[in-house]
């Protein structure tokens, strides 16, 4: 809002609107503290840096009562300073994939050839039962996105050795230095494949790359010559909620070397879902938890909220443990 328009409002209204902003961040907490998005419940964060702006794609958690996940659409927010977040609204509804019947689950958007490509997990209709991955495209990072092929890019039947019908979820996409784009995804089984340059077809075989304790939510990124596969893990022998673990490789094809756990579990949430980006020279890891209350709706399995923490590397390329905090990135990274 420009300063000139503020002059139209009497002082009491100005005071109330400033209070609303500060109340939205919990009063005493610094702007940008965790959870970073507080206007609604959000999950499965997927950052994308475009110039001086970081876009954050999320699923919209709308569960009521004890519903598990009620997710119909994907939303996008953006920031230039990692403190103040601008809401851009919905970029696509699951109904826009006409072959899908429900579940706007985890997504990621990448930019290629000047366009923005959204890869997203949904529930396929009964013609190809099970979870599936769709691809949509837009000329703007804030959408709207439209289905780019009119059918699933990956359906349950494309991974016949998988153990269950919801294994084909949570796509993550990475364009390598040679220009080829790869997609990885999975639940309990993790897969990777190359995409054709048109971004809407798989190119060649689908390879299974399941690392130890892999549950879901893979995220691919590269730093220097090293590739990272960061994911929601569940060591059923010791934990009842997901944590984040990671593996590294010198080639996307593998072999992947397991590097252990990166985080503990999220507050009040069975799931945790990593998304990683380098922005203005610093590395960040986005996660979600169930800590937020909005009105009379308490955080829960299906009412999650996105958070962010600093991501730090050791000199050998391994990652330093990430502690989930309320201050998040409003504080400098911890000293070693
Ligand atoms: O948000 C729905 C599902 O929960 C995602 O696809 C998983 O990664 C988990 O966060």
Mutate to test the pocket of ligand 1, among 58, 60, 100, 105 (most ligand atoms within 8 A of CB): 105
Return the structure tokens found at 67: 């519903």
Which residue from 68, 69, 151, 60 is spatially nearest to 107, judged by alpha carbons? 60
The answer to whether the CB of 273 is under 6 A from ligand 1 is: yes
The answer to whether the CB of 106 is under 6 A from ligand 1 is: yes
How much is the pLDDT for 217?
Answer: 98
Locus of tokens 């598990």? 68
Mutate to test the pocket of ligand 1, among 271, 299, 305 (most ligand atoms within 8 A of CB): 271
Expressed in angstroms and rounded, the spacing between residue 12 Cα and the centre of ligand 1 is 43
The residues annotated as belonging to the active site are 44, 216
The answer to whether the CB of 288 is under 6 A from ligand 1 is: no
Could you read off the pLDDT tens digit of each residue along the chain, which spans 336 residues?
Answer: 232 333 333 333 333 333 322 234 445 689 999 999 999 999 999 999 999 999 999 999 999 999 999 999 999 999 999 999 999 999 999 999 999 999 999 999 999 999 999 999 999 999 999 999 999 999 999 999 999 999 999 999 999 998 999 999 999 999 999 999 999 999 999 999 999 999 999 999 999 999 999 999 999 999 999 999 999 999 999 989 999 999 999 999 899 999 999 999 999 999 999 999 999 999 999 999 999 999 999 999 999 999 999 999 999 999 999 999 999 999 999 887
Domains of the chain, CATH where assigned: 3-330 (2.115.10.20)
* pTM (predicted TM-score): 0.92
């Amino acid at each position: 809002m420009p300063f000139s328009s503020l002059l139209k409002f009497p002082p009491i209204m100005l005071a109330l609107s400033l209070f609303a902003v500060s109340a939205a961040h919990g009063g005493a907490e610094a702007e940008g503290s965790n959870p970073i998005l507080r206007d609604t419940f959000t999950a499965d964060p997927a950052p994308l840096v475009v110039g001086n702006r970081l876009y954050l794609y999320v699923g919209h958690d709308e569960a009521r009562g004890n519903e598990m996940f009620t997710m119909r659409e994907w939303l996008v927010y953006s920031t230039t300073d990692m403190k103040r977040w601008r809401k851009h609204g919905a970029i696509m509804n699951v109904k826009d994939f006409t072959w899908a019947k429900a579940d706007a689950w985890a997504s990621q958007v990448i930019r290629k050839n000047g366009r923005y490509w959204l890869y997203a997990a949904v529930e396929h209709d009964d013609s190809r039962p099970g979870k599936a991955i769709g691809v949509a495209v837009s000329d703007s990072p804030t959408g709207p996105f439209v289905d780019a092929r009119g059918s699933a890019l990956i359906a349950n039947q494309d991974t016949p050795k998988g153990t269950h019908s919801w294994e084909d979820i949570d796509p993550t996409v990475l364009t390598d230095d040679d220009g080829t784009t790869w997609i990885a995804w999975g639940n309990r089984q993790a897969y990777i494949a190359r995409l054709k340059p048109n971004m809407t077809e798989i190119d060649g075989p689908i390879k299974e790359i399941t690392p130890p304790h892999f549950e879901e939510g893979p995220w691919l990124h590269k730093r220097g010559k090293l590739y990272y596969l960061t994911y929601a893990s569940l060591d059923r022998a010791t934990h009842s909620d997901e944590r984040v673990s990671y593996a590294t490789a010198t080639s996307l094809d593998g072999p992947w070397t397991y590097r252990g756990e990166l985080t503990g579990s999220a507050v009040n949430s069975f799931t945790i879902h990593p998304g990683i980006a380098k922005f203005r020279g610093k590395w960040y890891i986005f996660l979600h938890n169930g800590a937020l209350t909005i009105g009379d709706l308490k955080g829960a399995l299906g009412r999650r909220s996105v958070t962010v923490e600093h991501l730090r590397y050791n000199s050998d390329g391994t990652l330093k443990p990430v502690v989930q905090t309320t201050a998040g990135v409003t504080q400098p990274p911890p000293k070693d």
